[in-house]
Structure 1
Amino acid sequence: MSKIQDRFLQVISYIETNLDADLDLNMLCQQVHLSKYHFHRQCSAFFGMPVIKLARLLRLKRAAYQLAYRDDKNILDIALANGYDSHEAFSRTFKKYFDKSPFEFRKAPDWTPWQSIYDPVLTLRTKMMNKHCEFKVEIIDFPETSIAVMEHRGAPNLLGNTIQKFIEWRKLNRLSPNISKTFNLVYDDPNVTAPEDYRFDICCSSDHKVEPNNHGVVNKEIPSGKCAVVRHVGSDDSIGVVVNFLYSKWLLDSNFEVRDFPIFFERVSFFPEVSENKMITDVYLPIK
């Protein structure tokens, strides 16, 4: 990776780490060793948008996650925490990007309108991760693990609804992430799968039989067996690069074959509790 690319990765990292503070452009210039006379133009050329807009998009993404998945936070507090002076100002901006008011989005999260606006950030993160496509792979023996599962079947952009319901069920059953590990079973590649055929399981470890429930949660197991695992630190925006690396370069260079079980994630730390650049996800590829 070139020095200039590395500097712009530092820009994103600095913004993510300091989302709660006013953006200090002088400090950013110092962080990336760029003259303030050229910083704005270079950032706009590299990110495809002004750096101020990039910061606003990252704050708005965090606000949307807080709305969808943290029902203990009220809308005004979320607005103020993400740099808006009032509920009204937050609602106007939020509706512009999501085609829903914050209240409507909280009731039924839908990320579809967001995708095209956020695409430059997603593309940049994927591009940067691809530049650094050598990852540390460990071979481990994964133990048989009983899990409680909510199956998402349908468009990836509507996954938020399923996550919301699963969090609700988890709270009712007192299986917080502090005492129960969080997993995802990833059956399909969203880039090549029709939205209506997409399959993704949201899970948590549980040694107890799941009682009949209105949420649709069922028992499953992650079988014991050998896995290749990569620890991904950073946003989910670029986690597909890790998955592709395991399936392509690493698997081709190894003496292993895949087992008859989907690739799965263990969520070690969560956004928005931690900034996106500090999220930790272990990516497991079942092998034999």
Structure 2
Amino acid sequence: MANYQERFTKVIGFIESNLDSAIDVETLCEVAHISKFHFHRQCSAVFGVPVMSLVRLLRLKKAAYQLAFRADNKILSIAIDCGYESNAAFSRAFKKHFGMSPSEFRASPNWTHWESSYDPVIKLRKQTMSQENRFQVDVIELPEILVAAIEHRGLPNKLGETLARFITWRKLNKLPPSKSRTFNFIYDDPATTVPENYRFDIGCSIDQKVSDENFGIVNKKIPAGSYAMIKHIGSDDTLGEAIQFLVSDWITHSGYELRDFPITLERVSFFPEVSEHEMVTHVYLPIHNQNS
């Protein structure tokens, strides 16, 4: 029988897959295989909030991402997609949590309150990932890939603004994810880097060089060569564990050495288009043989 952390991770996954539907405690008890008499207390102990507060929390996260990064989505459509029966009910819940209306958040997203209330979910996901520790590493060859990117430099909590700017540029240039591969270049660990010095690039593949000073677009190349790759399935909450495994565990026993290029992420499927636990991200670590 799965332990309790794994059970509640399944509960999160079920909730994320059904945010547009009515969710009741009885169904969640069945998912967790826990008696209703004990479920509420155990859920509150794990997450620090009652189970239906957790449902509301995950609904509002999806809504916030759609508001911030999907400008074409109407607020009413977002409300319905996140399980609210009316715009008024959605607006009340959103403002109570974020301290601003959905339209105000869309105009100027502020994630500060969200990040603190979401900590228990992140903690559980990381604990479950750490216990499973089932990272499969494949060594692959990539050709050279030309990338148009926006360089984020500065506070990590401002990264959302850079992402929104990149999404706008991408739409204007008709480079959707279905046509153009999506990449991130990771230079620094936000846990050990002075926030003002944090560096992170957001880009997409292109056929030829482009120029757009208004958006700060720069041309970069992913060099051809060998890469250690992990196919990470799940929320970004646990991406750090996959990256840490590659750079501190796998590489020391692999017989390979690191090449001079940052860790690269390829975003294969995105939240909120898919549920967080269904996201797919390829983590690439540039390597070469020790004798080459």
How far does the alpha carbon of each residue in 1:41-72 deviate from its partner, in whole angstroms, 9 at most, with x for none?
11111222211111111111100110011111
- Find the counterpart in structure 2 of residue 271 from structure 1: 271
Q: Secondary structure at the match of 2:256?
A: coil
Distance 2:280 2:99 in 1: 31
- Find the counterpart in structure 1 of residue 204 from structure 2: 204
Provide the identity percentage. 57
- Find the counterpart in structure 1 of residue 155 from structure 2: 155
- Find the counterpart in structure 1 of residue 5 from structure 2: 5
Distance 1:166 1:144 in 2: 22
Residue 20, structure 1, aligned to residue 20, structure 2: yes
- Find the counterpart in structure 1 of residue 184 from structure 2: 184
Distance 1:100 1:33 in 2: 38
Distance 2:119 2:73 in 1: 28
Shift, 1:15, TM fit:
0.9
- Find the counterpart in structure 1 of residue 231 from structure 2: 231
Residue 281, structure 1, aligned to residue 281, structure 2: yes
Q: TM-score, normalised by structure 1?
A: 0.95
Shift, 1:85, TM fit:
4.1
- Find the counterpart in structure 1 of residue 56 from structure 2: 56
Shift, 1:221, TM fit:
0.5
Distance 1:116 1:266 in 2: 28
Contact map agreement 1:265 1:284 (CA 8 A) in 2? yes
Q: Which amino acid aligns with 2:84?
A: Y
Superposed, 1:93-172 pairs within 5 Å as 93-172=93-172
Distance 1:225 1:146 in 2: 14
Distance 1:184 1:212 in 2: 19
Distance 1:20 1:238 in 2: 24
Q: Which amino acid aligns with 1:200?
A: F
Note the residue ranges of structure 2 that are not aligned, 5 or more in a row: none
How far does the alpha carbon of each residue in 1:93-134 deviate from its partner, in whole angstroms, 9 at most, with x for none?
323433433222212323223211111111121121111223
- Which is further off, 108-117 or 147-156? 108-117
Distance 1:222 1:97 in 2: 41
Superposed, 1:38-53 pairs within 5 Å as 38-53=38-53
RMSD: 1.6
Note the residue ranges of structure 1 that are not aligned, 5 or more in a row: none
Distance 2:104 2:27 in 1: 37
Shift, 1:139, TM fit:
0.3
Q: TM-score, normalised by structure 2?
A: 0.94
Q: Which amino acid aligns with 1:172?
A: L
Contact map agreement 2:180 2:206 (CA 8 A) in 1? yes
- Find the counterpart in structure 1 of residue 247 from structure 2: 247
Distance 2:30 2:133 in 1: 28
Distance 1:32 1:71 in 2: 36
Count of residue pairs the alignment pairs up: 288
